[in-house]
Structure 1
Amino acid sequence: MPRESFQRELDELYAEIVALGQEVESCLGNMVEAMESQDAGIARQELGVDARFKSRGEEIDEACMLIQARQAPVASDLRLVYTVQAVTNHIVRVGTLCEHICRAIADTADQDRDEDLTVALLEMARSARSLFHQGLEIFEARDIDRARDLQAADDKVDLLYSEAMNLVVNPAVSEAGSPEWRMRAALIVHYLERISDHGVDIGGRTVFLVTGERMESAMRQYLDRDLHSEGDEEDEDEEDH
């Protein structure tokens, strides 16, 4: 019975962080919608969410500490508690970045904009939201195979980051967008890149949760496995001939 009660606590903790992630993802959805429609009113709806997300994160951290103090977790249980704390931190930070972006959108609603840079920011925002969503799905399902695909998606965001920053520094037309808006746009580019990184990190934490290995070690083993598999196939082909 004690073990069943402990497992129930762990399951509730897992469900709590998934729910927090979904709330932050909803915030990201409104952020992208505000950028698509250039509607500052939608962005203003998300001002203040950072405090709520941080409060929820502190509650989850406290629950993790209580579980460790009251129970005697085995290795896999400790990995879950550790991973929940780490993923909570990533999710809360994404919530903070989302509010920063929404505040920038609201504060520059009446500023002149660079159309090319606006398009680049929107594409980057959609990609960042998608990557964070994938990270949450991977964590919820503990799907470590998908976690290994996140890096390729993040590479795309890195390219978008370079393109957007180039437009910030070298606009296509002179005096494109007000100085205030361009300064905020540069910050938004940085915030979106960080949101993407947090999505990738959530996937990496999932690999650790399931296997006990860091993402880097798991990737090396995964690649080595593929290389060995290809070598075995080549040997079989040679034997057939």
Structure 2
Amino acid sequence: EGDSYLNWKASFGWSESTLNRGVLATRGHSQSFVVETTLPGSDLSFYKVDYRGQIFAPINDDYTMRFHTQLGYGDSFGDTSELPFYEHYYAGGFNSVRGFEDSSLGPRSTPSVVTNEQGEIVYGVPDANGRYTDPDQDPLPFGGNVLIQGGAELLFPLPFVKDQRSLRTSLFWDVGNVYDTNCTDSQKQLSDSCDIDLGSMASSVGVGLTWITALGPLSFSLAAPIKKPDNADTQVFQFSLGQTF
């Protein structure tokens, strides 16, 4: 059986908004800052700090620029050696970096890659870049303790549609990645995301559409990756029910 932990948490947050609408805003800004930490008596000791922000800057009556970002950092303290894996950040997918599969960015796990006491890999097959993998298993997304993502969008009216109140279309550029400052040596062999490097971030461009229906928001995107990190999985068409961009 796996280990189980009892953790008591406290969260502290601050937020503000000047958006002109609760849904499909076209003017104003919003931001939030949240700190979460475990309390004395917990089995593990760790904290997370998260920031989200966006700003809408109208160009004219029909066109608006939107800039947005999300930043996250987590780490351990006391006797805990690293942020628990189930608290990791993930990136890729809708409301993240579109054009990449959900949670596919960042470090990967290394099942069946064996290391010795010195951290040297003693089992595995090197690929063309000298990175070792198990030939029978694909490395899985593992997330990390650092999240950096954001982007820019040009919002514009959908042609030939008179009532634009329930529609939003955009041309977007997304960028981001997840990093893990506690990668094992074998994980470092498989990923460029073990050290924070803005030059290794994934990015994509595309077009998006959100339609507010009686069932909730329906959102679609078509995206083309323009920078693909190693091992990242791409996905051109993405769909979401209940989320807007």
Q: Give the TM-score taking structure 2 as reference length.
A: 0.23
| Higher percent of residues as helix | 1
| Higher percent of residues as strand | 2
Greater RCO (Cα-Cα under 8 Å, separation 6 or more): 1
Q: Give the TM-score taking structure 1 as reference length.
A: 0.23
Larger Cα Rg: Structure 1 or Structure 2?
A: 1
